[in-house]
Chains A and B, each alone.
Chain A
């Protein structure tokens, strides 16, 4: 059956096109809704407006050259994407990272998760008219971005991870400033919670809106905060611990009703848990190297490249032919901000991938979003979408 505007007999029925460029859509996505009065009867979610051939580009590039592409997947939390990709490569090449590197990666992953959730709840609040709450969230987020920028050199397009290590070490004075920022973040979040979570208008607009049941969420393959808001306690950091997540204590917050309010609430609580993880690790970062030396993968030290012919040749070969990753295939997942963020890599023993596949959490969320939209009114589309936090870069790849 196709929607046909001409053949609609019922005068109450209308077909409305939302997007692809709509100011309140997070990224470019188009939803064609069939309405009766103001209630959505049926809808068709069209994705793909930001498709840029991520996998094809990766297959044409070497393993190292794919790292900047990976940044552009989830542009709200690029560090998690970076670490997820190199973690999969390290698994394939049997590289064990140094303790200092693991500490820094864990802390930066959690910072990245906080910035992603701040974007989501801040923008979601603004779409409901809460401009002040939005400014609190974005103010805190920008402190984090600037602080990440001091390590990586960029706010969003970080390209910070390397196979077997990191691009550079933490600068001096980074940790004391991080503590100040975390303190400031807590104050701002107290104000945010005071403004939003007990607010009558906010509760009216979000409680019982966009409900998805637990069975539906599991059947549609949802992961991340959207699944946890229905009461399923599934978190990749707990069930499949990577980095240092089995050494720190944190809770997995879950919701109860699976509605928009619960999704906001789960994200707020997750930020608290992230802060808890950061505070446990921040004073214990061990001294030492951040990179593992692996002759076929890591570039030789710059001083040697300038001095010896062997190092120049090695440098040239790694740049030109790509790092040699052993033949094989693997699936390695991390907990991204929107759900399980897994890479499925296939290597044939050369410097270029045969297959570099991302399991896109947002894309899978979009596969089931129509169950949330059906039965709600047109005005609720925007809060529902805001609480799901679809990221176009990762959804359309």
Chain B
């Protein structure tokens, strides 16, 4: 069974010197992390408290008028204690860049490519940041709130078969 949230919060705050927040109603633990500290924090997480990367995604708060506009969201999990945490990294519209966690978890190889594909947030240090669900010639980033759902894309020509070998 997972550790009780207040206990876990205390342990984490003592270890990492960073604020962790408990959502009492939903019984979830989360934290806002500065993007400069992200990689070092994740590296420490992966060795002790959270060794499994569940999910990477982003949220666009354009219509909520939240500053900064984007948040990159990581869901972490521990395979022995079953603790979970949500790490939220605010990202500005002007510099949409975060450090890639690919060197720690290879799960990020596809998941970060997807976030780049749909939100246009760059992951520095990712070895092969191509579009994944859409095609290379796609214009714009469809999950941004300023991409209108009925926007049309230009037609593209035929392509040669080519591919990158996986990393």
Chain A residues close to B by CB (< 8 Å)? 1-5, 15, 17, 32, 34, 42-48, 51, 53, 55-57, 60, 91-92, 94, 218-221, 232, 234, 239-240, 328, 330-331, 340, 342, 344, 346, 348, 354-355, 357, 359, 363-364, 366-368, 370, 396-397
List 13 extra interface pairs beyond A34-B165, A48-B135, A348-B64, CB under 8 A: A1-B165, A2-B163, A32-B163, A44-B163, A47-B133, A53-B149, A56-B142, A328-B23, A346-B59, A363-B110, A364-B110, A367-B109, A396-B133
Whole-angstrom distance between the Cβ of B86 and the nearest chain A Cβ: 7
Contact with A along B72-93 (1 / 0, CB 8 A): 0101000100101010000000
Tell me whether A355 and B59 are in contact (CB under 8 A): yes
Q: Take A4-B162, A364-B110 as given contacts and tell me if A94 and B54 are in contact as well, using a CB distance cutoff of 8 Å.
A: no
Tell me whether A239 and B26 are in contact in the complex, defined as CB-CB below 8 angstroms, given that A48-B133, A218-B52, A364-B107 are known contacts. no
List chain A residues, Cβ under 8 A from B165. 1, 3, 34, 42-44
A residues within 8 A CB of B84? 331
Given contacts A15-B161, A354-B64, A359-B54, contact A220 B79 (CB under 8 A): no
Residues of chain A contacted by B23 (CB below 8 angstroms)? 328
Q: List 6 A-B contacts (CB under 8 A).
A: A2-B162, A55-B143, A56-B142, A219-B105, A240-B82, A367-B111
B105 and A43 contacting across the interface, CB-CB below 8 Å = no
A239–B80 Cα distance when bound, in Å, is 9
Closest A residue to B73 by beta carbon equals A344
Which residues from B are CB-within-8-Å of A240?
82
B132 at the interface (CB under 8 A from A): yes
B106 contacts partner chain A, Cβ-Cβ < 8 Å = yes
Task: Please tell me if the beta carbons of B28 and A331 are within 8 angstroms of each other in the complex.
Answer: yes
Please give, as numbers and ranges, the residues of chain B lying within 8 Å of A15 by CB-CB distance. 161
Q: Which residues of B contact A (CB under 8 A)?
A: 2, 23, 25-26, 28, 51-55, 57, 59-61, 63-64, 73, 75, 79, 82, 84, 86, 105-107, 109-111, 114, 118, 132-135, 142-143, 147, 149, 161-166
Selected contact of A331 from candidates B61, B79, B86, B110, CB within 8 Å = B86
> Whole-angstrom distance between the alpha carbons of A106 and B72 in the complex?
34
Do B161 and A239 have beta carbons less than 8 Å apart? no
A91 touches B166 (CB 8 A): no
Q: A43-B165, A218-B79, A359-B54 are in contact. Are A330 and B28 (CB under 8 A)?
A: yes
Partner among A1, A17, A331 whose Cβ is within 8 Å of the Cβ of B75: A331
A331 to B142, CA, bound (A): 23
CA distance A2 to B142 in the complex (A): 27
How far apart are A114's CB and chain B's nearest CB, in angstroms? 26
Closest residue of chain B to A216, judged by CB? B106
Complex CA gap A344/B147 in Å reads 21
Q: Taking CB as reference atom, which chain A residue is nearest B118? A: A55
Known: A56-B142, A330-B26. A17 touches B55 (CB 8 A): no
Residues of A contacting B133 with CB < 8 Å?
Answer: 47-48, 51, 396-397
> Which residue from A45, A91, A348 sits with its C-beta under 8 Å from B26?
A91
| Partner pick for B54 among A51, A219, A221, A346, CB 8 A cutoff | A221
Whether B75 contacts A344 by the Cβ 8 Å rule is yes
Asked whether B132 lies within 8 Å of A48 as measured between CB atoms, the reply is yes
Q: Are B105 and A47 in contact (CB under 8 A)?
A: no
Please name all residues of chain A whose beta carbon is closer than 8 Å to the beta carbon of B118 when the two chains form the complex: 55
Q: Which 9 A-B pairs have the closest CB atoms?
A: A221-B107, A367-B110, A44-B163, A32-B163, A48-B133, A42-B165, A239-B82, A370-B166, A51-B133
| A343→B112 CA distance, assembly (Å) | 18
